[in-house]
Amino acid sequence: MHQVNKLLSSYKSNRYSFHEIVEELSVQPEVLALLAKHPEIESRHITQSLSRIQLACDEARHCRNCPGLEACPNLLKGHQAILDWAGSSIETRHKPCPLQLMDQEHRDREKLIRTHHIPKDILAASFATIEPDKERAKAIKAIMEFCMQVQPGEPGTKGLYFYGPFGVGKSHLMGAAARKLSERGIASLMVYTPDFFREIKDSLQDNTVQQKIQALKEVPVLILDDIGAETLSPWARDEILGAILQYRVSESLPVLYTSNYNYDQLLEHLSYSQKAGIEQLKAMRIMERIRYYTDEYEVNGMNRRTRK
């Protein structure tokens, strides 16, 4: 049992006086913080609010030793009871924790963008379960360092560009990165690029294009999975992809990419469209926002999709 619970139990068994319990509660960190803001609070106010104070102290202790959102033991999952002074009594209000806020942001984006769903095997990826084989060692080291050091919004922030053949684990590395970033309280959004552009095209009918674009612009870390596998129109390339990348460059928000193409091959891919033919200059503008704001790593190895 927690310390406050023990005190109350001890009072019932006459081991401590009620006065001793009130004194003990009065020096709890949460009560001291409230008293510092409101020196007009008296002992009688504390005695009138023992259950509220107990709740706030217990939940603060839970949060200091957070077991994660799913295992949150607090009365209102993902929230913490905070002591507040109502002018004549001590009350509690429930404040959402950072994990709850991130989860709500994730749900809000999920309602808006269908294609950011990450397959279950990628969602379950973590750096602890990724095999550090020689062909991927540099990429694994780079993405782990990125996750531990990145500060979205700081000038000079760069992303990563992973390229290589099918099935070598590029997307799994990004899934592990998303998990590690969430542990640091940094939100990320992983988008399967071909499906996203198909969704953008469909969104012209319900006028949600700008909302979807804004979500990709503003998320702290954007992960564009399998860029180069899509068929882009000049409009999608210049007005959608170009606008997203330009905003993120200007705000120093990093992008992580996976692709089957290296930089030069992606330039060639972006240069061609069925309607406009070859437009290398426009493709080069896009590539400037990729090439100079990421570090490129080749990812090789066995095809893990076909391995038994």
Over residues 41-93, the pLDDT tens digits come to 988 898 888 889 989 999 999 999 999 999 999 999 999 999 999 999 999 99
CB 209 within 8 A of CB 225: no
308 inside domain: no
222 inside domain: yes
Q: How far apart are CA 237 and CA 135, in angstroms?
A: 32
The secondary structure of residue 205, as a DSSP letter, is: T
Mean pLDDT of the residues in the chain = 85
User: Same domain for 82 and 135?
Assistant: no
- Residue scoring higher pLDDT (303 or 112): 303
Model confidence band, residue 308 (pLDDT cutoffs 50, 70, 90): very low
User: Same domain for 175 and 270?
Assistant: yes
179 inside domain: yes
Q: Write down the pLDDT at residue 15.
A: 55
The secondary structure of residue 278, as a DSSP letter, is: E
303 inside domain: no
The mean pLDDT value for 202-223 works out to 85
Q: What angle do CA 76, 82, 86 make, to 5 degrees?
A: 120
The mean pLDDT value for 218-246 works out to 91
Model confidence band, residue 14 (pLDDT cutoffs 50, 70, 90): low
127 inside domain: yes
Model confidence band, residue 253 (pLDDT cutoffs 50, 70, 90): very high
Identity of the residue numbered 196: F
User: Same domain for 110 and 91?
Assistant: no
Q: What is the SS3 assignment for 186?
A: coil
Nearest to 50 by CA among 75, 23, 73: 23
- Residue scoring higher pLDDT (266 or 307): 266
User: Same domain for 117 and 91?
Assistant: no
User: Same domain for 24 and 74?
Assistant: yes
pLDDT tens, position by position, 160-193: 999 999 888 899 899 889 888 877 878 888 899 9
The mean pLDDT value for 28-53 works out to 90
Q: Write down the pLDDT at residue 301.
A: 78
CB 45 within 8 A of CB 29: no
148 inside domain: yes
Which residues, at least 6 apart from 165, have a Cβ–Cβ distance to it below 8 Å?
260, 300, 303
User: Same domain for 81 and 115?
Assistant: no
Q: Write down the pLDDT at residue 91.
A: 94
User: Same domain for 75 and 122?
Assistant: no
Alpha helix locations (H) across the chain?
3-12, 18-26, 29-37, 43-47, 50-64, 98-112, 120-123, 137-149, 170-183, 193-202, 209-218, 234-235, 242-250, 263-271, 280-291
Q: How far apart are CA 82 and CA 86, in angstroms?
A: 12
Q: Write down the pLDDT at residue 220.
A: 92
CB 262 within 8 A of CB 163: yes
The mean pLDDT value for 123-144 works out to 84
User: Same domain for 80 and 21?
Assistant: yes
Boundary of a domain, candidates 96, 115, 145: 96
304 inside domain: no
**Structural domain boundaries enclosing 252:** 100-298
The mean pLDDT value for 140-162 works out to 95
Q: Which of 58-67, 127-136, 189-198 has the lowest mean pLDDT?
A: 127-136
Q: Write down the pLDDT at residue 4.
A: 53
User: Same domain for 59 and 115?
Assistant: no
The domain that holds 237 is classified in CATH as 3.40.50.300
User: Same domain for 133 and 222?
Assistant: yes
- Residue scoring higher pLDDT (260 or 114): 260
User: Same domain for 261 and 236?
Assistant: yes
Structurally, how many domains does the chain consist of? Answer: 2
Q: Write down the pLDDT at residue 116.
A: 66
User: Same domain for 48 and 121?
Assistant: no
Handedness of CA 31, 36, 40, 43 (dihedral sign): positive
Q: What is the SS3 assignment for 255?
A: strand
Boundary of a domain, candidates 42, 74, 96: 96
Q: Write down the pLDDT at residue 250.
A: 95
305 inside domain: no
Token pair listed for 142: 């780079």
- Residue scoring higher pLDDT (208 or 115): 208
Boundary of a domain, candidates 96, 126, 151: 96
